[in-house]
Amino acid sequence: MAAVAQVQAGPQLQEEFVPVKSRVWVSIADASTATLQSVIGGGALTYFFTRWRGLDTQYAAIVWLLFGLWNAVNDPLFGYISDRTQSRLGRRLPYIRYGAPIYALAFIFCWLPLPGTQHHQALLFLQLLVGLFVFDTLYTAIASAVYVMPYEMALSNKARGSILVWKVIFTIFPTAIPLVVVPLLQPGPGEDATVYLLVLAIMGVLVGTLVFASTFFYREKHFQQAEQQPPLWSAIRECFKNKSFIVFEVVSFTVIYIQTSLMQGVLYYFDELKVPGLPIYLALAAGIVAGLIFWIKQRDVWGIKQSMRLVCLEFAIGCTLLLFLGREIIPSVIAFFFVGVGFSGCMYLIPLMNGDVIDMDEHRTGLRREGMYAGVNSLITKPAISLAQAVFLSVITAFGYDQELMKGAQSVNAQTGVLVGWVAVPAILLYACFVLLQFYPLAGEAWHQIKHGLAQIHQEKEKRYLETHGYKFTE
């Protein structure tokens, strides 16, 4: 017997509701996937290969630049493929569920000290390059699918926000592990790496298990996979016809660059400047918690646009303080509090901003193309990871950093280079985003009306989809 569903009449739409277990588990998948990437992309792998395994910093910089070229291919390609995927699980879940175990193995391979490679420049270069290529291909397939799941699960910013709050809470792991755990465990030149490598291997297995298990607790709206998608190049062009997407990409690029630069630089900061870590980490944690509460409350008061502008401004001030006063404890504590507030603001508001950009695309084209947008977003922003790594390494080298020295033995000039390479470019990019966001168009009453109209369209699409699968609707 066909199931019977009741459709509420009237002009008002019922607010969407996403079950708590779905919000929690999709956030666990997101944070778990991001944790492995933040360890590798945040500088720990580069540090391990250059400081412990002996790879020349110039070769490491070349690897990251070559790796950036691969990202120009795989990200939009996977986004395009996932948008066109049709399966009983949906468009995204197959990549998350079945990619998770392979992703974990690829992470573990990146850290294996293969026999005969120690201080062998060509072999080290090759392992780093191949490891990054394989790891990132799997990361792209899984992370892009997880990233767009909130947009597949809900339309309104309130419902999406209820998911993203959990995602921000769980970002404590991809934030704390590269910023706190890795610096505490990572071996310096000549030190024993057994415990460090064991912890990383356990981390890889745990992440693979959690991501796989998560896929049994949330689902997509299947009606969207019945839509006819445009060819690849047309799909890419349509993204750039969306003016809001261009502004968003500048901000998104900046956030990824900053995240990479901060995680890379902090490894060297605590090595060389000898600032006590406990008060700084406490300030960072306090900033993240206070920032999350603040931005959640102000989201609807100020709107996404103005909230994001203020995030960029105060984040830039924090980076500026570190640049000029990063050797002193009190200014550094204040700066890290600002960084924490800015970081939580970016993690909470950027996905909401991205969701609005995708909604505008649907308003323009009539199609839901989350995968394509995730792919093109990665095409533009992932080079920020490579660029941040290369710029940091180049700057500290120019200031006389000697990778053969033990921790804390660098010159004053090299210490200055760590500060400059760490936060100077992020500060400049953030100030630029503060200005650029003034021209972001998705704000105001007209935009709210468009969102309302899209919600009605989704109800009708889902109704038609269910009717073709044997469900009957009564008014």
Q: How far is CA 207 from CA 2, 11, 32, 101, 268, in A?
A: 40, 44, 5, 9, 27
**Residue pair 125/54 in contact by the 8 Å Cβ criterion:** no
Q: Report the distance separating Cα 130 and Cα 119, nearest Å.
A: 17
Whether 13 maps to a domain, the answer reads no
| Alpha helices, H only, 50-120 | 57-84, 93-111
Helix, strand, or coil here: 472? strand
Q: Which two tokens stand for residue 115?
A: 């026999």
- H-assigned helices in 112-241: 121-153, 157-170, 172-176, 182-185, 194-214, 232-241
What is the tally of structural domains in the chain?
Answer: 1
* Closest of 104, 109, 128, 103 to residue 52, by C-alpha: 128
Contact between 282 and 457 under an 8 Å Cβ cutoff? The reply is no
Q: Are 67 and 288 in contact (CB under 8 A)?
A: no
Give the span between the Cα atoms of 145 and 166, in whole angstroms.
Answer: 17
Burial class of residue 437, CB neighbours in 10 A (0-12, 13-18, 19+): buried
Domain containing 317: what range? 18-470
**Contact in structure between 240 and 246 (CB atoms under 8 Å):** yes
CATH of the domain at 165: 1.20.1250.20
pTM, two decimal places: 0.69
- d(CA 401, CA 364) in angstroms, rounded, equals 51
Angle (deg, nearest 10), helices 370-398 and 412-436: 150
* Number of Cβ within a 10 Å radius of residue 444: 10
CA-based R_g, the chain, Å = 23
Establish if 9 belongs to a structural domain: no
Domain annotation covers residue 318 = yes
**Nearest-angstrom CA–CA distance, 260 and 85:** 31
Per-residue tens of pLDDT for the chain, all 475 residues: 333 334 333 334 445 677 889 899 999 999 999 899 888 876 788 888 888 888 888 888 888 888 777 766 777 777 777 777 777 777 788 899 999 999 999 999 999 888 877 778 899 999 999 999 889 889 988 988 888 787 777 766 677 778 878 887 887 788 778 767 787 788 877 888 889 999 999 999 999 999 999 999 887 765 555 556 677 778 888 888 999 999 999 999 999 899 888 878 887 898 888 888 889 989 998 998 899 899 988 988 999 999 999 999 999 999 999 999 999 999 999 999 999 999 889 988 998 898 899 889 988 888 878 777 877 887 788 778 778 888 998 899 999 998 888 888 899 999 999 999 999 999 999 999 999 999 999 998 889 888 888 878 777 766 665 556 554 544 4
Indicate whether 376 belongs to any domain. yes
φ, ψ dihedrals at 6, nearest 5°: -100, 135
In a domain, 6, yes or no: no
Q: How much is the pLDDT for 386?
A: 77
Question: CA 32, 143, 48: angle at the middle one, nearest 5?
Answer: 60
Check: CB of residue 214 under 8 Å from CB of residue 299: no
Q: Is residue 7 part of a domain?
A: no
Beta bridge partners of 251: none
**What does the chain come to in residues?**
475
Q: Do the domain assignments include residue 144?
A: yes
